[in-house]
Structure 1
Amino acid sequence: METIYDILVKEHNLVADLLQQAMRDNSKDTLLKIKAQTDPHMAGEEKLFYPELEKKEELRELVSHAYEEHNEARSIMSELESMSESDKNLSSKIKELKESIEHHVEEEENKVFPQAQKVLSSDKSQQIAQQYLEFKQSFKQQTPASMR
Structure 2
Amino acid sequence: METIYDILKEEHEQMSDLLRQALQDGSKVSFFKVKLKADPHMMGEERIFYPVLEEINELRELMSQAHKEHDEAKTLIFEIEGMDEINEKWASKINELKQSIEHHIEEEESKVFEKARNILSQEKAEEMAQQYIEFKRSYMNRIETGGPFV
The bucket for the TM-score relative to the shorter chain is: over 0.9
- Aligned-pair RMSD on alpha carbons? 1.1
Tell me, which stretches of 5 or more residues in structure 2 are unaligned?
Answer: none
Specify the alignment match of 1:43 in structure 2.
Answer: 43
Could you list the structure 1 runs, at least 4 aligned residues long, displaced by more than 3 angstroms after superposition.
Answer: none
Matched with 2:72 is 72
Aligned to 2:137: 137
The count of residues paired between Structure 1 and Structure 2 equals 146
SS of aligned partner of 2:85: coil
Give the Cα–Cα distance (whole angstroms) in 2 for the partners of residues 144 and 128 of structure 1: 24
Compute the TM-score of the two structures, normalised by the length of structure 1. Answer: 0.96
Q: Deviations over 1:2-29 (max 9, x none)?
A: 0000000000000100011011111111
1-structure distance, mates of 2:119, 2:43: 22
Which runs of no fewer than 5 residues in structure 1 stay unpaired? none
**Percent same amino acid at aligned positions?**
53
Counterpart for residue 26 of structure 2: 26
What is the DSSP-based 3-state SS (H/G/I as helix, E as strand, rest coil) of the residue aligned with 1:83? coil
Note the alpha carbon deviations across 1:52-94, whole angstroms, 9 max, x for none. 0011111000001000000000000000000001101100000
TM-score, length of structure 2 as denominator length:
0.95
Write the distance in 1 (CA, Å) between the matches of 2:119 and 2:45: 17
Letter in 2 for 1:19: L
- Please give the per-residue CA displacement for 1:25-64, whole angstroms capped at 9, x wherever unaligned: 1111111111110111000000010000011111000001
For 1:1-148, list aligned pairs within 5 A: 1-144=1-144
Greater length-normalized contact order (CA 8 Å, ≥ 6 residues apart)? 1
* Offset from partner CA, 1:79-125 (integer Å, 9 cap, x none): 00000011011000000000000000000000000011111100000
Shift of 1:144: 4.6
Q: What's the secondary structure of 2:49's corresponding residue?
A: helix
Q: Which moved more, 1:38-47 or 1:137-146?
A: 137-146
Greater CA drift, 135-144 or 114-123: 135-144
